[in-house]
A and B are shown apart, each in its own frame.
Chain A
Amino acid sequence: MAKRIGTESIRQLYISENEQQSLNTLMETPHYQKAAWLTLILVLTFVVGWEWYWRSQNHALSYNDDESLWASKRKQIYQSSPARLVMIGSSRIKFDLDLPTWERVTGEKPIQLSLPGTSPRPILTDLGNDPNFKGTLLIDVTEGLFFSPTGSFPEKEAIKRVKTYPNWSLSQQISFQINRVLEDNFLFLDDLNLALNPLLNLFPVPPRPGVWGGPQFPREFDSNDPDRQAKMTDAFVADTALQNRVKGVWLEIGAHSPKKAIAGPPLAAILNETKKSVDQIRARGGQVFFIRTPSDGPYFESEKQMFPRALYWDRLLAHTQSPGIHFEDYPTLTRYRCPEWSHLSPSDAIPFTEGLVPIVEQKMGWSLRRQPAAMPAETGSFSR
């Protein structure tokens, strides 16, 4: 039998109290069980009450757009095709391209990898370096983010997400599946709006002079679905005061962003880096094209001023020898207004997407739309 031999270690002095107390004293204190039951009741009461409160406030169900949700989409990119696009970009394509509409028109649902507030370049590099990615890639260009300098915040944030994917463990994947079931049923599991930190941000603490705490969007701004589709909530679309708050956020971001756009050798480096990744994907048989989704009002004016189309968008397409769709070039894409200058409302995202499909077909020479004649046959085959 194993036993300790030799002198008593000094270490015993540190741990003996706990070891002895843990087992012996617990027997003498019978109230933990009662405390445990009361705790369970209190916690369950809180959960039910908290959920009820947010439901009574008509809070929109929103899924956490976290690393795991992104990784679950990243995992799907190997089944990509022209109809089943992989999309990278910033927030605009997440709002503007309506995934159910695209699926209805083409029969396939695109894979949404865009990350709000980030540059898509790190994801493009990642896909370029992935020897197994041979699919179709649509890159959404918001100039201020796409052409953000190397090492800037929008780039770093995207790099963080890219780096987490290879380390997405089995344990995290199981947790993600469990979380999905919970998120399907509980509104309050909205990390972006209802977690502790966003709630703390509601405290009326005066701002510190000279310090900007980052953008504070109203919680009604958007919701996120399990396919990473972003949508403005009904409350937001109906309320111009909320829309004006978001316009204010864009102005704040503008005030804290570089006043001059990137140019010269750093811009050339970005273009070269982009071309390298595009060429890598094409060399494997993949296809890449770009899109510039709508923006509006003073936001669009300032974008045009800082990033003149000829110097950035046109140069990007020419340098990478890629096709591109700029919303200004197509009347079917220009007739929409962005309620807060930067994104389409859900009701406009549907016709925008319907209008986009034939443009993509024409530009890329693809046939994306489901053949109307084939649909009854398919239905027939299912019915048998």
Chain B
Amino acid sequence: MVFNSYTFIVFLGLILLLHNLPFSWRVKKINLLLASYLFYALWNPPFILLLWLSTVVDFYMARLISLEQRPLRRKLLLTVSLVLNLGMLSYFKYGGFLLENFTALLSAVGIVFQAAKPDIILPVGISFYTFVTLSYTLDVYRRRFTPEPSLLNFALFVTFFPHLVAGPIVRPEDLIPQFKTPRRATAEQLSWGLFLLSLGLFMKVTIADGLLADTADLIFGLPFPVQTLDAWTGVLAFSGQIFCDFAGYSTCAIGVSLCLGFVLPDNFRYPYAAIGFSDFWRRWHITLSTWLRDYLYIPLGGNRHGAVRMFANLMITMLLGGLWHGASWTFVIWGALHGLFLCLERLWRDWSANRRVRVAELAMDAPLVNRASVIPPLSFPNPFTKFGLALLTLFLVNITWVFFRAPTFDGAMLLLLSMFGIIPNGAAMLTNLAILTVGLVTVVLITCHWLMRNSSLLNLSKRLPWWVLSLGWAGMLILVILTQKSSGSFIYFQF
């Protein structure tokens, strides 16, 4: 079930009703769990078995790990959990990709091997719930979290429908404690939750699907070069689409949870106002980037073993992060580019810090006026410089989106060459209306991100008169109703 469907509106109404009836807390949790299974089963019922398997195995493995004191046995139990979770993920998500590359490799060394193309359907949300259960088992193994004694609480933690299929990727400490005590949203929380749900639907239905998707699909689907304007418009359309689609989902998930009295972690914080790639990853898909950092980058050694190891760890983390998004080399390249930009940024920061120290040392010996004119520009860039750096970051992020969205490497290169005018005489494909729409949405999006980069929606809403908030809210809902595109799947469901 998707948030942008009539089925979900009815479903949410029933859940809210059940959640507010005078049942015991245990009954309410059972209601939520059954509802979550129904939410998932309405896509493809058999895949619910995988969810159960993952839930039961990780629940009991974590308990066994916590009871076991012998390091080797603990490792063995952890391995069982990892093999099961990552095995399922690998089979369903990477089976075809691995076979395809294995065949290509054999072919490259002259061995003819024709494997039947595996007909594997990717279970919705498997990448997300696998990471959720993994974080639990790993935290218990690292003794950072005591295992949850209640299977009901644990199953609800894994399956809670708002985050189940596309995040935010919750950690045990985010959600399990919230299931311990009865929760019911106050009228204010319910209202704010509904506002967030409306905002998320507006981002998804009106902006991503209604205004941007057709342009992005057209340009990325063309097998021939296009004019530079068309190429950039297509990429900017996808840039806006992927943000509004995914952040829209997260906003809906957070809003729906709040309607029930639960709080989910933030997943986006105005990423298109990021200054640099490390800042970008603090703002984009925050729950994935922090997951990768805590369970991959830091265990690999992080920055604790010198610069070379740190760069290698960064690259490994981002390559695997790319592969997490999809079984394709284009996602690997996307991850590699992000890794590369993070490394370059790190080098620049180190160089800049060293230079500051040197300049400061020189300045200490120089006259006062000289010190004042040399140091500040390096340390405290003015707002225009900051904005320029944010635009540069966004420019580079857009380059990486080409690989993320293009169906093939050749398609990505064709579009990149078109973007930089290297292929002359490309076709003009987009109407003026499409170009204007994408341009307008992009400008509004960047402006909003820039103005909000150090703030939050909640803070903004508190500053606004209530009727202004209401006008904005009604405007969004009216546009959602007018757009009329319901049931369109979210892009991140495929990951």
Q: Which of A's residues lie within 8 Å of B, judged by CB?
A: 1-6, 9-11, 14-15, 17-19, 21-23, 25-27, 29-36, 38-39, 42-43, 46-47, 64, 68, 169-172, 174-175, 178-179, 182, 189, 191, 194-197, 199-201, 203, 205-211, 213
Contact = CB atoms under 8 A, between A and B. Distances in A.
A18 B430 contact: no
A32 B7 contact: no
B82 interface: no
Interface string B143-159: 11111100000000000
A1 B180 contact: yes
B487 interface: yes
Nearest to A25: B458
B23 interface: no
Interface string B36-47: 000001111100
B430 A208 contact: yes
B436 A205 contact: yes
A170 B473 CA distance: 31
B466 interface: yes
Given A39-B474, A196-B210, 16 more contacts: A1-B180, A2-B177, A5-B143, A22-B263, A27-B188, A35-B467, A36-B470, A39-B477, A46-B478, A196-B206, A196-B211, A196-B483, A207-B431, A208-B431, A209-B428, A213-B433
Contacts of B345: none
B430 A211 contact: yes
Interface of B: 1-2, 5-8, 10, 41-45, 142-148, 171-174, 176-177, 180, 186-189, 191-192, 194-195, 198, 206, 210-211, 214, 258, 263, 265-266, 269, 282, 286, 290, 293-294, 428-437, 456, 458-459, 461-462, 466-467, 469-471, 473-474, 477-479, 481-487
Given A43-B477, A210-B428, A6 B142 contact: yes
A201 B5 CA distance: 25
Across the A-B interface, the 6 shortest Cβ-Cβ residue pairs: A31-B466, A32-B191, A42-B474, A171-B42, A11-B290, A178-B6
A17 B467 contact: no
A38 B176 contact: no
Mostly, the A contact residues are helix
Mostly, the B contact residues are helix
Contacts of A169: 1, 42-44
Select the residue from A39, A191, A197 with max chain B CB neighbours within 10 A.
A39
Contacts, number: 205
B43 A171 contact: yes
30 contacts: A2-B176, A3-B145, A4-B173, A5-B145, A9-B290, A10-B293, A11-B290, A14-B286, A15-B286, A18-B456, A32-B191, A35-B466, A39-B198, A42-B478, A43-B478, A46-B474, A46-B478, A46-B481, A64-B484, A68-B487, A172-B487, A175-B486, A175-B487, A182-B6, A191-B485, A197-B214, A201-B433, A203-B433, A207-B431, A210-B428
